[in-house]
Amino acid sequence: MKDVYFTRHRRLRQSSSIRAMVRETTLHTDDLIYPFFVIEGEQTKNEIPSMPGVFQLSLDYVKAEMAEVVDLGIKAVIVFGVPHHKDEVGTSAYHDHGIVQEAIRLIKEFYPELTVIADTCLCQFTDHGHCGVIEEGKVLNDPTLDLLAKTAVSQAKAGADIIAPSNMMDGFVAAIRHGLDEAGFVDVPIMSYAVKYSSSYYGPFRDAAHSSPKFGDRKTYQMDPANRLEAIREAESDIAEGADFLIVKPALSYLDIIREVKDFSGYPVVAYNVSGEYSMIKAASQNGWIDEKQVVLETLTSMKRAGADLILTYFAKDVARWLSSNNHSEVK
């Protein structure tokens, strides 16, 4: 072999310190957004059966939960509300004292430095479980926009730092941007669910948020998983309408979309590591089939490598602990 020249790639893999020196993609605690579910009532902490380790929390548990988040060095959370009252038009989504608004006020009172993102949608708040106004079994696009703008303004009034609309109505970013600006919230950014697929990975979330549609499905407004070019068109529209961040949801089966959205837009891209992705890893780990820590770190690193700047993940607290204890956890 001494007369045959070949490249010795393994020279840069000889030790953990050398591997760290040439590592191209690194996961940081600053990359994480922690989602949590707040529910009306008192002394309520319900573990979600399909999402081990994830809870619905009443307001009296929120302060302690946020104390843990801050102590772990996580800089941002996103709030999902589970209300008692539901009606045809999701009134409690935009009520000044709705569950999301009350949670935002509470967090900002005790932890003003924590970035609070408000999920802005109607599905948890409507009695039919769809993300908009219904007429004769159809989700009406334009009448829904007014309600979404009202919801966003009420959340900004409560102290939300970022509005994250997730409904996938046409023109939703423009309507919300206009509503926020008119109400004086010109500096509140929009983290748009720009590319949201009609995915089977959302099942556990719908258990957690009580948001399953009572009839039909969401395929007329969420995207077909087979489509790639449509994702670019959706993201382009949201940028033109005033989006400041672009979410791709789900993440793991859509890494190619994350890369394309990042490359064409140059905007901050958020990967949503969704409930089904979380639950599959948890189930396999509990059965002893995988090393949870190593699989989670590898999975989230793949999202960063694909182009995500931020990762919205239910693993956020665990990842923050692992990164803190190891400085940087190397996937083995």
Among all residues, which ones are annotated catalytic? 196, 249
Q: Which two tokens stand for residue 320?
A: 């923050």
- DSSP bridge partners of 39: 58, 82
- DSSP bridge partners of 270: 247, 310
* Beta strand extents in 202-265 (DSSP E only): 245-249
Q: Is 129:122 a contact under the CB 8 Å cutoff?
A: no
| Plot region of 312 (φ>0 → left; ψ -120 to 50 → alpha; else → beta) | beta
- Please give the single-letter amino acid code of residue 68: E
Torsion sign, CA atoms 172, 109, 53, 285: positive
Whole-angstrom distance, CA of residue 194 vs CA of residue 192: 5
Whole-angstrom distance, CA of residue 196 vs CA of residue 210: 19
Q: Is residue 324 within a helix (H) or strand (E), and if so which, with residue range?
A: helix 316-326
Instruction: Kindly tell me the number of DSSP H helices and DSSP E strands found in the chain.
Output: 11, 12
Q: Which two tokens stand for residue 124?
A: 């948890």
Torsion sign, CA atoms 49, 278, 315, 313: negative
Torsion sign, CA atoms 257, 259, 263, 267: positive
Bridge pairing between strands 138-140 and 133-135: antiparallel
Q: For residue 9, give the DSSP letter.
A: G
